[in-house]
């Protein structure tokens, strides 16, 4: 995003910040180059059949997919899965449906699942927007995590950012009353855009006055710790759908 942190401050409710056009088609990802390691490939082979779900344009039966009834948390874009695996371990009472298209990242999370004996994760290697549109019914989610999405630093690329009003409206509609949406970023202008866009969504309410304290379940990743040592900030935004 542009270094102008106040861009869009006077935008109309529900609108993107000034100069940020909505993409014609929302996508939750950009494909990145990367190589799958031998260990990740083995994790695909050994654990994929159990923990990978196939995309189907039909409502997800979460109880069947996880083998139990439990609160359902959607994660969009988990990178290499470090935070995802940690959160699933400290919250065994919850089910985590995780969307990521980057194959090495999927392999890395499968490897972590095997190493730590994690049972409450299922992975969809598919565009999260199509998953939201076709597999998740209204009021079916207890929580949503979007951690460190691509900030698209250049102003001309701001329209590619994930957190835009159309997607937030879809997400809010799929939260149960009392459910939450938790976003985090280490890019302050994007954090301010997140706060503005989520604040303008009528189905959501902020849990804090502005940015939220970091929830105790979200760990500091190696990448994040490195940034903090360099003086970079991290911002959490946590909204709920009121009961």
| Residues involved in catalysis | 150
> 171: which residues sit within 8 A by CB, 6+ positions away?
132, 144, 181
> 207: which residues sit within 8 A by CB, 6+ positions away?
180, 238, 239, 240
For the chain, give the number of residues: 243
Q: If we measure between CA atoms, which residue out of 149, 143, 148, 212 comes closest to residue 179?
A: 143
Distance CA 134, CA 86 (A): 28
Q: How many CB atoms lie within 10 A of CB 88?
A: 25
55 DSSP assignment: P
Is there a contact between 175 and 141 (Cβ–Cβ < 8 Å)? yes
End-to-end CA distance of the chain: 34
Element (H, E) at 40: helix 38-51
DSSP letter for each residue of 69-129:
---EEEEE--TTSHHHHHHHHH-TTSEEEEE---HHHHHHHHHHHHHHT--SEEEE-S-HH
């Amino acid at each position: 995003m542009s270094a102008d942190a106040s861009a869009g401050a006077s935008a109309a409710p529900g609108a993107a910040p000034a100069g940020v056009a909505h993409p014609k088609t929302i996508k939750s990802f950009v494909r990145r180059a990367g190589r799958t390691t031998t260990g990740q490939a083995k994790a695909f082979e050994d654990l994929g059949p159990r923990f990978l779900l196939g995309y189907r344009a039909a409502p997800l039966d979460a109880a069947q997919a996880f083998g139990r009834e439990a609160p359902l948390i959607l994660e969009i874009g988990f990178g290499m899965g470090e935070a995802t695996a940690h959160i699933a371990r400290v919250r065994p009472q919850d089910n985590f449906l995780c969307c990521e298209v980057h194959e090495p990242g999927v392999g890395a999370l499968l490897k972590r699942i095997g190493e730590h004996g994690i049972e409450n994760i299922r992975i969809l290697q598919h565009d999260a927007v199509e998953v939201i549109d076709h597999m998740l019914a209204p009021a079916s989610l207890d929580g949503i995590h979007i951690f460190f999405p691509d900030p698209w630093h250049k102003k001309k690329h701001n329209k590619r950012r994930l957190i835009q009003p159309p997607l937030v409206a879809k997400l809010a509609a799929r939260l149960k009353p009392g459910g939450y949406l938790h976003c985090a970023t280490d890019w302050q202008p994007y954090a301010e855009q997140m706060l503005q866009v989520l604040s303008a969504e009528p189905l959501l309410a902020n849990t804090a006055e502005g940015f939220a304290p970091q929830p105790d379940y979200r760990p500091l990743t190696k990448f994040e710790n490195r940034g903090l040592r360099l003086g970079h900030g991290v911002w959490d935004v946590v909204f709920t759908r009121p009961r």
